[in-house]
Structure 1
Amino acid sequence: MSDSNIRSRFKTLFVRSPPQEPPLPPTFDKPWRNLPWGDNGRNLQYVQEYKPENEDIKHLRVLLYGSVGAGKSSFINSVTNVIRRRMTISAAVSATTSDRSYTKKFQTHKIQTGRGTKKTYYPVVFNDIMGLEEGTDSGVLPEDIMLAMKGHVMEGYKFKLISKLSENDRDYNPAPAPDDKVHVLVCVLSANVSEIKESVLQKMSSVREAADDLGIPQMAIMTNIDAACPDTEKDLKNVYKSRYLQKKMKEFSSTVGIPMNCIFPVKNYSHEIDLNDDVDTLILSALRNMIDFGDDFIEKLA
């Protein structure tokens, strides 16, 4: 037996490998972002009493965009539940998982302030659009999202898969008012998705660049945190202790290009039949920041 073979056998038999580090626990000892749980009254009052100070703008317009199934429509319903303090169905959602968008038309969702013959609405509205899909012949076109940001897309416009809205189309708004334009752009991402497809990322990037050119503030909400993280499913208060969700938010921040302090994890109402304080806390945290970001933009338009 050669000397090299002897040395190799000696290492195998007698040289110990370095000790393995024990795996990190799934949650931090302390939350890495502070959130006042159980104190929803102040944020709810802030949201319910908000009014734009710019006289030309009656409502702050939030545009949601993102991959198919990320939870855009469910988030609108969840926000409506929280503000109206009861379960509602404002935006239609699909009960089944699909790789095709359930939303087909450009829709504005208003939140009614109460009941009665004379309906009034809170001055924050949400635009729901078709989801971004993989490939060039499916899902909403980035060009249509850009037109929506500028206020050129009329209510009820049915999105086309192969051609953007043209100036000659009856659903094209040639002279958008300040109310028609988007005041904050929100990217909706699912924590329960392993990765975002490259073609979808490219579409997101083009939308973000257009919003940057227009000066529109941008943020993101990360949905499905309960499905993605067992510790958070067990207790929503673990959301900012979860190592997995923190890692996911960092991945989204790096991939999509939205700063960490502009990404807000939420759980949408799905199977619940009653309101939940912890669900409301996360939604109100995201919603208050949407209003603040959008209101800052509105002030610049004055």
Structure 2
Amino acid sequence: MVVLPENWRPIDFHPSNQKKIIEEITHFKIANPEVHQLHILVHGPIAAGKSSFINSIASIFKGRMAESSLVDASGAGHSFTKKFITKKIRDKDGNVLPFVMSDIMGLEDEEADGARTEDLVMALKGHLKDGYCFNPVASLKKEDPFYNSCPTLNDKVHCLVSLLPGDKIGLMKPAGVQSVLRKLIEIRKEASAMGIPQVLVMTMVDNICPEVRKDLKMIYKSKRIKEKMQECTNSLGVPMKRVFPVKNYHEEIEMDNNVDTLVLSALKNILHFANDHVQELDD
């Protein structure tokens, strides 16, 4: 296993930096007065860790393990999340933070399985109401009670976050007509047409590199992690500077500063990208 002598991307794992980022996000100032909370949409293939990523963020701000989204540990092979659910994140005092995260049904290779790209595009535009139950064989219709015909700027998505499992990216089908990668690319194109910024979060980093499994601080010294991040970039087209490797809380029952630092680093950048977007809409 090749380990680089220095971090190729700077990151500070000291607990004081973690506290600094938490403080920054807790008091984050949104650049558009019409926006009450930045709206982040998290999507990706099944078992990529979408719900776990949201739960990891909720845990960090609670200062303890928290479950904002239900997670399936059975490995059944189909998406556990069935509804469009927007989660408020609260700090340890119960205060609502200045962003929300929408959890969706996972994408699958077959056209009749998983969330439909048409539904995700409607979510980007703010047309999906909370509680909408995804139907793999039919998209939301305008006459449906869960269709929001007059979305406000708060309903629309301000940053699209794609999650890819780093340990499985090489096993995913090429971007054919019905592949998950093709669906992800199509959704990205729609987001780009709307000017919505995009971020790629690479999960499962502890399954990629033994050195990183032993010590997360090695993440930006691992040549294997960098190669997998580049593979994610090549597959989806998201620039390397917008690819963030993380480890979600999964088996742990206690908080870990190194896990928190990686997740917070990704979240901080996501919020800045989203804020830049809403600021442009106010100009």
Give the TM-score category using the shorter length.
over 0.9
Q: 1:42 to 1:98 in 2, by over 3 A?
A: same
In structure 1, stretches of 5+ residues that fail to align are 1-24
Q: Secondary structure at the match of 2:89?
A: coil
CA displacement, residues 109-158 of structure 1 (integer Å, 9 cap, x when unaligned): 1012345xxx6411110000001101110000011000000000000000
Q: For residue 185 of structure 1, what is the aligned residue in structure 2?
A: 160
Please name the residue that 1:69 is paired with: 47
Partner of 2:229: 249
Whether the 8 Å CA contact 2:83–2:104 is kept in 1: the answer is yes
Query: What is the total number of aligned residue pairs between the two structures?
Result: 275
Give the RMSD, CA atoms, in angstroms: 1.1
Quote the Cα distance in structure 2 between the aligned partners of 1:96 and 1:113: 30
Percent identity, aligned pairs only? 39
200, 204, 208: which one pairs with 1:220?
Answer: 200
2:267 paired residue number: 287
Asked whether the equivalents of residues 50 and 123 of structure 1 are also in contact (C-alpha less than 8 Å), the reply is: yes
Deviates more, 1:49-58 or 1:134-143: 49-58
Contact 2:247 2:262 in 1 (8 A): yes
Shift of 1:55: 1.8
Conserved in 1, the CA contact under 8 Å of 2:61 and 2:92? no
1:6 aligned residue: none
Whole-Å separation in 2 of the counterparts to 1:120 and 1:281: 21
Tell me, which stretches of 5 or more residues in structure 2 are unaligned? none
**Structure 1 segments of 4 or more deviating over 3 A?**
none
Alpha-carbon separation, structure 2, partners of 1:296 and 1:82: 24
Cα separation, 2, equivalents of 1:187 and 1:112: 23
Give the match for residue 91 of structure 1.
69
Please state whether the residue corresponding to 1:69 is helix, strand or coil.
coil
Q: Distance in 2 between matches of 1:141 and 1:51?
A: 34
Q: Distance in 2 between matches of 1:120 and 1:41?
A: 17
DSSP 3-state at the match of 2:100 = strand
Asked if 2 retains the 8 angstrom alpha-carbon contact of 1:59 and 1:124, the reply is yes
Q: CA deviation at 1:243?
A: 1.2
Match of 1:55 in 2: 33
Which residue, 25, 28, 37 being the options, matches 2:13?
37
- 2:121 aligned partner: 146
Name the larger-Rg structure. Answer: 1
TM-score (norm 1): 0.89
Determine the C-alpha separation between the residues in 2 that align with 1:44 and 1:158. Answer: 33
Give 2:251's aligned amino acid. H
1:1-302 equivalences under 5 Å are 25-38=1-14, 39-115=17-93, 120-193=95-168, 194-198=170-174, 199-302=179-282
State the one-letter code of the partner of 1:192: D
